[in-house]
Amino acid sequence: MADEPKEKQPSPVPAGDKPASSPAAIPPPKPAAAAPTGVTPPRPAVPVPPKPPVQLQTPLNNELVGRIRAKFGPVLVEAIEDRKQAILTVECGKLAEVAQYLRDEEKFDLLSDLTAVDWPKREKRLDVVLNLYSFAKNERLRVKARAADGEQVPSVAGVWPTANWLEREAFDMFGIVFTGHPNLTRILLPDEWQGYPLRKDYDIIEQDTSWVKDNLGIESGQ
């Protein structure tokens, strides 16, 4: 997909070590922030090229982002603001640690929602999206992690028990495997269901035909 520049931006510093240089360098050095001017918005990942040149997604650079960057360095892939809502993208493998930090240090104690989005044309096609809320700051934060199909995503159920069912739902609908989840089974769909319905390439007609054939022994009229 064309709009994947972000993947390459942080790669120069691959090993997620947290260098000592970070605290002093909080405001200026942001690998992602270097990109703002030339970068197209990361969101629209559809064949249709983003038409209006309105820059809705602006790089976010507040204290919170600074602190996270200082602590996790390149784990923070990207920080943007879309319609005044903060969105952080972190490296998939470090999701649980970032989550732990956000809950304990940044007081994002309520996991409002955990879901996923499928971008089939992207190299890492799945987004795990966490919507966090902090009672202390009265502030919402969205954390995303990109995962390839079949890639294991660390479960945040140990951080927020809410995630238990929400991750099961994400697994159910998208087939994202959360490692460390206490009971990762399908939740809304029957256990024997095939496929992951909320993926963009899920074909309901095919499902129907095969189900009818298997269960009723006749040709489906679909």
Partner 1 sequence: MQAVTQATLEFVKQYWAPLVCGLVIVGVLPLIVGYVVLVERKIMADMQARLGPMRVGPHGLLQPIADAVKLLIKEDIIPEDADKLVFWLAPVLSVAAALLAIAGLAIGPAFQIAKDVNIGILFVVGVSAMGIFGIVLGGWASNSHYSLIGALRSSAQLVSYETAAGMALVCGLLFAGSLNITSIVQAQYDQGVWFGLLAPVAFFTYLVASIAETNRAPFDLPEAESELVAGYMTEFSGFRWSLYFLAEYTNMIVVASVATTLFLGGWLRPFPRTTWLSFIDFFPPLLMVGIGVYCLMRTPKQPVRVQQTFMLAVAGLCFAVALVLVAPMLVPAVKPLHDGILGAFWFIFKVSLYIYFFMWLRFTLPRYRFDQLMRLGWHFLIPLSIINVLLIGIAMIVGTYFHLQGWSLLLTTSPASIIALIIALFILATEQKSEPQKSSAAPDSYA
Partner 2 sequence: MAMDTTTDSRDKQQTLLGADELVLNMGPQHPSTHGVLRVKLKLDGERVIGSECMIGYLHRGVEKIAEHRTYQQFAPYVDRMDYVAAVSNGLGYCEAIEKLLMVEAPPRAKVIRTILTELQRIASHLLWLGTHALDIGALTPLFYCFREREEILKIFEKYCGARLTTHAFRIGGLQYDAYDTLEKDVERFCKAFEPRIKDYEDLLTQNRIWLGRTKGVGILTAADAIALGATGPVLRASGVKWDIRKAMPYAAYDQYKFEIPVGSTGDTYDRYMVRMEEMRQSRLICLQAIENIPTGPILAKVGKVLKPPPGEVYHAIEAPKGELGYYVISDGTVQPYRVRIRPPSFVNLQAFDKMARGHLVADVVAIIGTLDIVLGEVDR
Decide: is 138 part of the binding site for partner 2 (CB under 8 A). Answer: yes
Three-state SS at 169: helix
Least distance from C-beta 4 to partner 2, angstroms?
15
Beta strands per DSSP E along 95-162: 110-118, 126-134, 139-147, 152-154
Selected binder of partner 2 within 135, 148, 211, 213 (CB under 8 A): 135
Least distance from C-beta 191 to partner 1, angstroms?
19
Q: Looking at beta carbons only, is 154 or 175 nearer to partner 2?
A: 175
From the list 128, 136, 70, 131, the residue with the least C-alpha distance to 106 is 136
Decide: is 41 part of the binding site for partner 2 (CB under 8 A). Answer: yes
Half-sphere exposure of 117 (CA within 13 A, CB side): 15
Decide: is 155 part of the binding site for partner 1 (CB under 8 A). Answer: no
Least distance from C-beta 216 to partner 2, angstroms?
21
- CA geometry: angle 88, 67, 30, nearest 5 deg: 65
Decide: is 109 part of the binding site for partner 2 (CB under 8 A). Answer: yes
Cα 50 from Cα 83, distance rounded (Å): 16
Selected binder of partner 2 within 189, 209, 210, 212 (CB under 8 A): 189
Decide: is 164 part of the binding site for partner 1 (CB under 8 A). Answer: yes
- By DSSP bridging, strand 126-134 and strand 110-118 are antiparallel
DSSP state of 13: S
From the list 77, 90, 72, the residue with the least C-alpha distance to 19 is 72
Least distance from C-beta 147 to partner 1, angstroms?
24
Other C-beta atoms within 10 Å of 6: how many?
18
Residues comprising the chain, all counted: 222
The full DSSP string for 154-166 is: E--TTT-TTHHHH
Selected binder of partner 1 within 34, 123, 182, 193 (CB under 8 A): 182
Selected binder of partner 1 within 58, 183, 194, 222 (CB under 8 A): 183
Q: In the numeric block, which tokens belong to residue 95?
A: 């999701």
- CA geometry: angle 33, 39, 44, nearest 5 deg: 115
Q: Looking at beta carbons only, is 29 or 161 nearer to partner 1?
A: 161
Q: Looking at beta carbons only, is 120 or 182 nearer to partner 1?
A: 182
Among the candidate windows 18-26, 27-35, 61-69, 105-113, which touches partner 2 by CB under 8 A? 105-113
Q: Enumerate binding residues for partner 1 (CB under 8 A).
A: 157, 161, 164, 182-183
Q: Enumerate binding residues for partner 2 (CB under 8 A).
A: 41, 43-46, 48, 50-52, 54, 56-57, 82-83, 85, 87, 109-113, 115, 117-118, 129, 131, 135, 138, 140, 142, 160-162, 164-166, 169, 171, 173, 175, 177, 183-191, 197-198, 200, 202
